[in-house]
Amino acid sequence: MKKIAILMLIISMVACSPKDDQESIKKQIAALKTKVIEANKEIKELQKKLDINSDSVKKAQGVPVKLLELRSMPFEHYFEANGKVEAVNDAFISPEMNGQVKKIYVKEGQRVKKGKVLLKLNTKLIESSIEEVKTGLDLAIDIYEKQKQLWDQGIGTEVQYLKAKNAKESLEKKLVTLKAQMDMSVIKAPFSGIVDDIFLKEGEMAAPGMQVIQMVDLSNVFISADISENYITNIKLGDSVLINFPSYPDFKLKAPVTMISNIINSQNRTFKIKLKVDNHDEILKPNILAILKIGDFHTDLAMVIPSIIMKQDTKGYFVFTVNKENSKTLANKVYIKPGVSYKNQTMIEQGLNEGNKVVVEGYNMLSNGAEVIVIK
């Protein structure tokens, strides 16, 4: 800016006095350039003094840091696993015989009690067969009773008596079979719950193994999860597990481990665990995602530091503490042996003791022996 002002002054002088002597003007320009050079030299000297003073002030003050005084505290470590909600009673109900759907007695979403009739198949053919067998059975019973009376009196042959008896008993068993088939044509609720889905309509054909109705009981659910085999020694029956659900951010619960599988899945190297949970309000639905936090380590006394302050070099992990030497506070590089970490906190197994003050702010600007100034 100073150079520009001087040049503008020269131009102004030339413009204002176009008739001046050329030699005089050249001398004035040379004099002004000399002043510019001298001014620049003076500016550089002053800037050097300013930089020196700034470095001196910085060195005198040291690197500002904040400290954390270590105290023994409880420390827990958890690992997370994904699980899902499953209902103890969740069934696709199918008939035990072929037949046409005659009548559906329930609707989707309806609550039913165990034993409630859900659906009935067309049984006209079975009913006709029953009536036919009953008629034949009446005759067979009459013949048998008369043949028995004759046999008791010593009249007739044993073969005649046995044939009459066999005919009666055969029709009795056939009647029992037909009545059983009649019962099989009626589908009843196997447990109390909710009719979640109906897959057929009246008039359509049903067959054994075909999904006709889905029922679920939401009052009795559990959570299952596949856990890496690396944690197989860390989980025991009865261990308490923290559970939260992404679908219900405000809903959390604890539940014990009620089942641990004894088989490792060869495909993904996991084993299954189950947790029985209360679902009185029926808020949990089958197949909802659950996040399990399973504790695998706990101690009542531990040295714990923020994980971020740990640094590493060729010798290992280290942190900075501070020492007083004369009137100065100096940074001290301390090598440590870190243990498990959880939620950005790390337990220190070796290298730090209770009462040590570790640097938690300003550590990136430090070197071993650097002077520091502690700020609150």
pLDDT at 169: 87
Residue among 198, 200, 179, 181 at smallest CA distance from 189? 198
Statement: residue 109 has pLDDT above 50: yes
Q: For position 110, what pLDDT does the model report? A: 94
Whole-model pTM over 0.85: no
Phi, psi of 277, deg, nearest 5 = -125, 155
Together in a domain, 185 and 101: yes
Work out the burial of residue 19: count CB atoms within 10 Å of its CB; fewer than 13 is exposed, 13-18 middle, 19 or more buried.
exposed
Alpha helices (H) in 104-157, listed in sequence order: 124-152
Structure confidence by residue, pLDDT tens digits, 330-374: 999 999 999 999 989 999 999 999 999 999 999 999 999 899 998
- Sequence-ordered strand ranges (E) for the chain: 63-69, 73-93, 99-104, 111-112, 117-121, 186-188, 193-198, 205-206, 213-228, 240-245, 248-260, 270-278, 289-306, 311-313, 316-325, 328-335, 337-342, 345-350, 357-361, 372-374
Of 182, 206, 230, the position where a domain reaches its end is 206
Q: In this structure, are residues 231 and 107 in contact, taking their beta carbons and an 8 Å threshold?
A: no
Q: Are residues 110 and 185 in the same domain?
A: yes
Please say which residue of 299, 316, 346 terminates a domain.
299
| Percentage, residues of the chain above pLDDT 70 | 91
Count of the separate structural domains present in the chain = 4
Quick check: is 211 in a domain? Answer: no
The rounded mean pLDDT for the chain is 86
Amino acid at 124: K
Q: What is the CATH number of the domain that holds 280?
A: 2.40.30.170
Question: Which phi and psi (to 5°) does residue 250 adopt?
Answer: -95, 0
More confident: 54 or 157: 157
Q: Note whether 106 and 178 are same-domain residues.
A: yes
Q: Which of 31-35, 57-61, 217-221, 330-334 has the lowest mean pLDDT?
A: 57-61
Checking if the pLDDT of 20 tops 80, the result is: no
**Domain, as residue range, for 178:** 94-206
Q: For residue 200, give the nearest of 108, 287, 262 by alpha carbon.
A: 108
DSSP 231: G
Residues sharing a CB contact under 8 Å with residue 148, sequence separation 6 or more, in sequence order: 161, 164, 165
pLDDT value at residue 25: 79
